[in-house]
Every structure is written in C-alpha cells, then in structure tokens.
Amino acid sequence: MSYRLLLHKSVTKFLEKCPDKQRQDIKQKLELLKQNPYANEQLDIKSMQGYENLYRLRVGQYRLVYQIKQGELIIFILKAGNRGDIYKGI
C-alpha cells in the first residue's frame, strides 16, 4: 500500500531552487515516506506538537511539513525550507 504525494506550489519552487545533491536526497526520502508516512526507521519523522495530523520530516538542514489524508492515501507536503524558517506561519 503506497501513498500518493501532493506538493504545494511553494514546495515545488523550493525543490527547483535546491542544489542537485540536496534535491536528490529529498526525493529519495519522499519515496521512502510514500511507503509509511507515520514511522519509518530510515526517516526522521516527528508529530508536530499543537497540531493534529501534521508531521515534519527532517532531511539534513531541511524540514518538510506534511499532512496525511488517511482515507484517500494522500500525503500533502505543505511546506519545505531551512530548519529555522520552516515553522514560521504554520
């Protein structure tokens, strides 16, 4: 059972601006995330405090915030960015 990924427009722009090495790392982690978005030994995933059904994925210095739509098997990546900036405005 694999989930489908949907990226917000700002996440797509962020990935386009990333250096090639980091972009490849993020894409590799997203492929693993599609298999199990809740808990995966190969990924650094944490539930976001104060929010229901929001999670963050750490990939080096970058963070991706996502929401899981369980009934539809969809992972919606809401935000992506540097470690310090990502949590502002959620």
**Is 80 exceeded by the pLDDT of residue 1?**
no
| Res. 70: pLDDT tops 90 | no
If you ran DSSP here, which 8-state letter would residue 19 be given? Answer: -
Distance CA 18, CA 36 (A): 25
Three-state secondary structure call for residue 47: strand
N-terminal to C-terminal alpha carbon distance within the chain: 29
From the number of C-beta atoms within 10 Å of its C-beta (0-12, 13-18, 19+), residue 26 rates as buried
Contact criterion met (CB below 8 Å) for 83 and 61 = yes
Domains defined for the chain, CATH in brackets: 4-82 (3.30.2310.20)
Would you say 86 and 80 are in contact if contact means Cβ atoms under 8 Å apart? Answer: yes
The CA distances from residue 23 to 2, 12, 50, 68, in Å, are 22, 11, 29, 22
Which of the two residues, 38 and 90, has the higher pLDDT score? 38
pLDDT of residue 23: 93
The structure's pTM equals 0.89
